[in-house]
């Protein structure tokens, strides 16, 4: 039996929020809600959640800005699934670049939403595939990596992606392998999610003696300068 999750729902549509609470609660999950972005931000900063379900269009502080503040100022790595009424590629990429781990376009099936947050919570909890590379890079259990005497926080998806690539370092890892093992997809969903997360990792790991190379048309190869 799946363990109950503590879920934060940030949604300004009261009917949808109530339906989500009823649906999650009936399945044993614990749910907190916020009807605006600022309230959602305060709840996320003060309490620990397994997953945050975050609408994009919110009063006070929109979902994109809220996610950026969580990932930046607060250093919060809680998995975020973003809800959006817009299904353009640009909107999806904007959410991923703000730090969201997944997205779902409205209207959606509640069963799919539950499956997605379950997958996010599993990836956040492990397995991490986390190698220990002496003198270069080490992972911790809170989505952090350590190198050159500093600690850098990653999102759960970034943490899993980096650990998986380093576990297979030196290989050109096919994109389909990465999508299956890290993103839980059997095919590329066409959102550029992998490329967005790689861009974030390269920026965060600048100076870490780790390179993540894109081999066009083939896949991704992780290299260490020491090897």
Give the domain extent around 18: 6-125
Rg of the chain over Cα atoms, rounded to whole angstroms, equals 18
- pTM equals 0.63
CATH (domain of 100): 3.40.50.2300
End-of-domain residue from the set 70, 104, 125? 125
Residue 184 lies in a domain: yes
**CA 77 – CA 71 distance, rounded (Å):** 6
- The answer to whether residue 189 sits within a structural domain is yes
pLDDT at 213: 92
- 17 with 116, same domain: the answer is yes
Give pLDDT, residue 15. 96
Do residues 193 and 151 both lie within one domain? yes
- Please report the pLDDT score of residue 212 as a whole number: 92
Is the CB of residue 56 less than 8 Å from the CB of residue 95? yes
Residue 114 sits in the same domain as residue 214: no
Predicted local distance difference test score (pLDDT) of residue 159? 83
Q: What is the pLDDT of residue 56?
A: 93
Residue 6 to residue 101: CA distance in whole angstroms: 17
- Kindly state whether residues 109 and 190 are assigned to the same domain: no
* Any domain includes 1: no
pLDDT score for 160: 83
Instruction: Give the pLDDT of the chain (227 residues) as one tens digit per residue.
Output: 467 889 999 999 999 999 999 999 998 899 999 999 999 999 998 888 889 999 999 999 999 999 989 887 667 778 899 998 877 777 777 888 888 888 888 889 998 898 888 878 776 655 444 555 655 777 776 677 888 778 888 887 888 888 888 888 888 998 888 887 777 665 565 557 788 889 889 988 887 788 899 998 889 999 887 65
| SS3 per residue for the chain | CCCCCEEEEECCCHHHHHHHHHHHHHCCCEEEEECCHHHHHHHHHHCCCCEEEEECCCCCCCHHHHHHHHHCCCCCCCCEEEEECCCCHHHHHHHHHCCCCEEEECCCCHHHHHHHHHHHHHHHHCCCCCCCECCCEEECCCCEEEECCEEEECCHHHHHHHHHHHHCCCCEEEHHHHHHHCCCCCCCCCCCHHHHHHHHHHHHCCCCCEEEEEECCCEEEEEECCC
User: Which pLDDT value is given to residue 10?
Assistant: 97
Q: What span, in angstroms and rounded, lies between the C-alpha atoms of 78 and 159?
A: 12
CA dist., res. 175 & res. 90, Å (int): 21
pLDDT score recorded for residue 157: 81
In this structure, are 17 and 119 located in the same domain?
yes
- Domain endpoint, select from 125, 154, 178: 125
Q: Give a yes or no: residue 105 inside a domain.
A: yes
Q: How many domains does the chain have?
A: 2
Q: Are residues 165 and 173 in contact, defined by beta-carbon separation less than 8 angstroms? A: yes
* The pLDDT value given to residue 128: 45
Region of 79 on the Ramachandran plot (φ > 0 left; ψ -120 to 50 alpha; else beta): beta
């Amino acid at each position: 039996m799946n363990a109950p999750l503590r879920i934060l729902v940030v949604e300004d549509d009261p009917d949808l929020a109530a339906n989500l609470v009823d649906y999650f609660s009936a399945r044993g999950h614990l749910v907190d809600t916020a009807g605006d972005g600022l309230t959602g931000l305060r709840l996320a900063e003060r309490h620990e959640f397994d997953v945050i379900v975050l609408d994009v269009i919110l009063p006070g502080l929109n979902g994109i800005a809220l996610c950026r503040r969580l990932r930046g100022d607060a250093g919060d790595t809680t998995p975020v699934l973003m809800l959006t009424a817009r299904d353009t590629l640009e909107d999806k990429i904007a959410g991923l670049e703000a730090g969201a781990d997944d997205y779902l376009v409205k209207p959606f099936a509640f069963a799919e939403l539950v499956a997605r947050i379950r997958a996010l919570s599993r990836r956040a909890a492990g397995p991490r595939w986390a190698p220990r590379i002496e003198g270069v890079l080490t992972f911790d259990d809170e989505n952090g990596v350590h190198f050159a005497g500093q600690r850098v926080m990653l999102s759960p998806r970034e943490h899993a992606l980096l650990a998986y690539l380093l576990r297979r370092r030196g290989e050109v890892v096919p994109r389909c392998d990465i999508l299956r093992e890290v993103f839980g997809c059997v095919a590329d969903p066409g959102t550029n999610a992998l490329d967005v997360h790689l861009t974030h990792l390269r920026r965060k790991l600048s100076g870490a003696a780790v390179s993540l190379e894109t081999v066009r048309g083939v896949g991704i190869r992780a290299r260490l300068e020491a090897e």
